[in-house]
A and B are shown apart, each in its own frame.
Chain A
């Protein structure tokens, strides 16, 4: 039996970054908002305290804060000819769970997309000719520009107290920042973080080679900070327990620290935890979602929550699954190329570079922040000439160690055995004397990389698993080869005692080793309902009261971590809902 609840103005599905932002903006506009979170409450005071929060086994290896694959997971195959099998444990990516979502256990790398990243198809076509884009590469423009988004990036950076160095202030280039960034209206709210050995060596070597290194923009606060909501952050203590952990010092921006302290006491907001959304109830006739059905995971009881506005702010996978399972929009078909839901699933191509070892220098890897290091963008996006390279896009190259946690973060020189006496000797010698120099690359969309419903495997409540059909493509391998060589060139200039040969990912996509939780696509944004699921305001073309947040709306993935862009687009969409949609509900764009 389903208990039907009283209608509310807006229901928000998922209480990570975007769900928290939308809940805050809509309640401020006077709406009553119900937030539904599948996981439990998480507060820094109760859950992120020492000594327990620095338990590497519990959080790092046993996945305390992540999605429970016993409840739900995805299946994976590499091509449409293969049989997909379920990911029985998390590996390659670690979606969040609980209030705060992945926003509570991320590292804090916070970027603005480059101007060209918003116009991947039109930019490359105009500059290099249409042939530079392979026939089966389905990259698209976002339908918005960097200039549209700039005020919202600025707002998200001020929400989070981002530490960084501006490189382009209103068109004025500033030494030490990223010269390739789009113009920004303000400096970062906080100065850059301190620099460890790897940052300094990389900075020197990159400059010597004529490149433009700059500090990683970071949501780890370099100084105590109070944001415009009145929420306060502590100063980062460089504890080395950032990604996979909650922050004991309240120094890592998270929904739990930067929004929820002001959202939770608001009488217009009601949070329901252990509320696992099963389905959006869609009225095809009027093209609206009338309610959402959710399960109380403690009792198994089902509830139907009617609402005027539905904000779908789950992770990429559940955003796409809920659209497919609820029958909203047309599922994407890789054979005909028609349909949109599930289209343009992308990932991130990490780890193209080298590891360096020093006999005469200590890197103290345990003294680190999450987003901590030095970066260069000289080979990212279209910041360099792609003529004759055989690929488009690129990546940022960085050096820096985010931690020295002993189970996860140990490296030994090439040729060392993985166990036994020699392994021990090398581990004892080099644990404190290494770092990597590596490129992190974009991943562009292809016709046959997509998401749909698995025909065989079901989740704990009987819905099909989301099926991922995905593999790396020639464009990725070529970027990898290129970035690994450039990384090696910079690393060599640091005169390491030992350097690994340049390496990059080859072969099929591997679901086992951690790579990044930067999955994107499935409900992509655009200006044409034939090729996108949501319009440029993140409103679903097929349901005018449904807005979809987050990285599932990215038509393809840039090299950068997605949090900055998705935080900005959440504020952009919220602004449009508050200023236009509430007064005049209906489609905000017409096809």
Chain B
């Protein structure tokens, strides 16, 4: 299993990556303290360092870098990691879903056509563990650095190569890995904040999605074709 083979390698990287994690957390912390960033869109920044249930330091660095590349910080929203997307991913991979709940896992495991869907024996957690190792190995071979250490332009280039499937991972397909990575990032960015991503409902503010109250019987006619104003989107926590 890719999972087991990876252990020595991840142990080796642990020390170096921990430093990286602290630096990243400190950097995002600075944004939180900056008065200039106190706009609605920037309040998502965590006050304290993110902690992980199942992510290794290397995995955490990878997911932080990927989230910030897929969802870059700009005037529309904080970055993916500032919005808690890596925390969302960590919790999802630690959840029953990450462990393969509601997934048919009997063999034989045979490679099929793409239209036949996912056919690996790996749970979502195992799949992302294997994928991050393969992606970082490819980045090291191609750029001499793991994904998280690449500059923004190279991260964009690397993710684009995975998206197109031209990134030739060792024994692992890059294109489906990218699709899974993109999907879980979008889930983290847009899901209810209760799961650890979408902090301060940053993506809902960006969209103008009002969230949960949702009583519109008398608003369909009134707002037909017009902007429905959303001052404060409502999430599950707002009702609890």
Contacts and interface: CB of A to CB of B under 8 A. Distances in A.
Interface of A: 50-52, 54-57, 61-63, 68-70, 73, 76-78, 83, 85-89, 91, 194-197, 200, 235-241, 361-364, 366-367, 404, 406-407, 410, 418-421, 424-425, 427-428, 431-432, 456-458, 507-512
Interface stretch (B28-36, B110-118, B140-148): B110-118
B156 interface: yes
Interface stretch (B131-139, B165-173, B221-229): B221-229
Contacts of B225: 197, 361-363
In the A-B complex, the 3 residue pairs with the smallest Cβ-Cβ separation, listed nearest first, are A239-B214, A51-B239, A406-B190
A238 B225 CA distance: 16
A524 to B, nearest CB: 26
B82 interface: no
Nearest to A196: B220
Number of chain B interface residues as a range: 35 or more
Contact of B102 (A68, A241, A420): A68
A511 B102 contact: no
Contacts of A511: 115-117
B194 A55 contact: yes
Contacts of B77: 424
A456 B224 CA distance: 54
Contacts of B228: 362, 364, 367
B39 interface: no
Given A406-B190, A432-B227, A239 B102 contact: no
Q: Which of B72, B207, B219 has the most CB of A within 10 A?
A: B207
A420 B226 contact: no
Contacts of B115: 76, 78, 507-512
A317 to B, nearest CB: 13
Contacts of B159: 419
A458 B116 contact: no
Contact of A200 (B116, B190, B204, B224): B224
Nearest to B124: A89
Interface in B206-221: 206-210, 212, 214-217, 219-221
B210 A362 contact: no
A237 B214 contact: yes
B187 A196 contact: no
Given A362-B226, A367-B220, A54 B116 contact: no
A480 B77 CA distance: 39
Contacts of A509: 115
Contact of B207 (A78, A240, A428): A428
B190 A407 contact: yes
Nearest to A418: B182
Contact of B209 (A363, A366, A424): A366
Nearest to B70: A419
Interface string B94-106: 0001001111111
B126 interface: no
B108 interface: yes
B72 A88 contact: no
Contacts of B102: 62-63, 68-70, 89
B221 to A, nearest CB: 6
A239 B104 contact: no
Interface of B: 69-72, 74, 76-77, 97, 100-106, 108, 110, 112-119, 156, 159, 163, 182, 185-187, 190-192, 194-195, 203-204, 206-210, 212, 214-217, 219-221, 223-228, 235-236, 238-240
Contacts of A91: 117
Contact of A367 (B74, B114, B223): B223
A457 B102 CA distance: 16
A73 B108 contact: no
A197 B222 CA distance: 11
B72 A54 contact: no
Given A88-B118, A406-B207, 19 more contacts: A52-B236, A56-B192, A62-B97, A62-B102, A69-B102, A85-B116, A89-B118, A194-B217, A238-B216, A362-B228, A366-B210, A366-B216, A419-B182, A420-B72, A420-B156, A428-B207, A432-B207, A458-B106, A511-B115
A197 B224 contact: yes
B99 to A, nearest CB: 11
Nearest to B190: A406
B239 A418 contact: no
A61 B117 contact: no
Contacts of B103: 69-70, 88-89
Contact of A407 (B163, B191, B215, B235): B191
Contacts of B209: 366, 404, 406, 431
A238 B112 CA distance: 41
A418 B185 CA distance: 12
B164 to A, nearest CB: 11
A419 B185 CA distance: 10
A89 to B, nearest CB: 6
B211 to A, nearest CB: 8
Contacts of B105: 70, 88
Contacts of A428: 76, 206-207
Contacts of A366: 209-210, 214, 216
B240 A367 contact: no
A512 B110 CA distance: 17
B70 A420 contact: yes
Contacts of B194: 55
B216 A367 contact: yes
Given A194-B220, A362-B223, A511-B116, A89 B104 contact: yes
B106 A86 contact: yes
B217 A508 contact: no
Q: Which of A83, A236, A362, A410 has the most CB of B within 10 A?
A: A362
A526 B59 CA distance: 58
Contact of B216 (A70, A83, A239): A239
